Amino acid sequence: MKQLPIIFRREFSSFFATPLAYVFLLIFLVLSSVFTFYLGNFYESGQANLNPFFNFHPWLYLFLVPALAMRMWAEERKSGTIELLMTLPITRFESVLGKFLAAWVFAGIALLLTFPMVLTVNYLGDPDNGAILTGYVGSWLLAGAYLSVGSCMSALAKNQVIAFILTVSLCFIFVLSGFALVLDAFNGWAPQWLLDAVASFSFLTRFQAISKGVIDLRDLLYFLSFITAWLMATAVVIDLKKAD
């Protein structure tokens, strides 16, 4: 892992080499404010908490994070630099992890820039700041899960648009897997263990539990295991593409 910091710095700085980073941050901050204060009925609820802010994150990330992830490997293939990257004295997982961590840290910075909302809610009332902190942790883990899927799809697809569509589609499935409408489709013919398994893969269920201040080790392990599995899948896809 000696080369990991070098890859991280290269990828992280590349975000700010183009307007992508600034456009992403602007859109994320504007939409977060609109969803929280207008669509989330923040003032009408009469409660000093950031639940309206966090409730929209699974849906906000569904389109913004794939746009951030689609360039990870598709851009390397388009520019022809992926061949150079493959010849460097680094392991495949180092390159995958370095790219992912750069995007994940960037997503974390976007989250930190929403800190004025924390100040606002503390000014207006006496919120549970512990629950707010866990909400931020859960949101960052959720972004990491989306990014890990996007990393694999970017390595698999031939261009960024296809990578974006595949990532949105897969993440949408993982979000919906905990909905009653989906579970009802299995009800009546599927065993209970299958219903529980489908529900356990839901991003929404796991994230909502953490964002409400309940940190369950199983939820943390789910997100970390999910991210690790998709990053390993990314490394496998890259090796297969190299063999082609």
Instruction: Please report the pLDDT score of residue 122 as a whole number.
Output: 85
- Cβ atoms of residues 105 and 9 within 8 Å: no
The more confident residue out of 91 and 80 is 91
Q: What percent of the chain has pLDDT over 70?
A: 79
Q: Can you give the pLDDT at residue 139? A: 93
pLDDT of residue 218: 85
Query: Could you give the residue ranges of the DSSP H alpha helices within 70-213?
Result: 71-79, 82-87, 92-112, 115-124, 129-156, 160-176, 180-186, 192-200, 203-211
Q: State the average pLDDT over residues 186-200.
A: 65
pLDDT of residue 141: 95
Contact present, 160 and 154 (Cβ < 8 Å)? yes
Helix H or strand E encompassing 226: helix 217-243
* CA 85 from centroid of its chain's CA atoms: 25
pLDDT of residue 102: 94
Per-residue confidence (pLDDT) for residue 223, from 0 to 100: 93
Q: Domain extents for the chain? A: 4-243
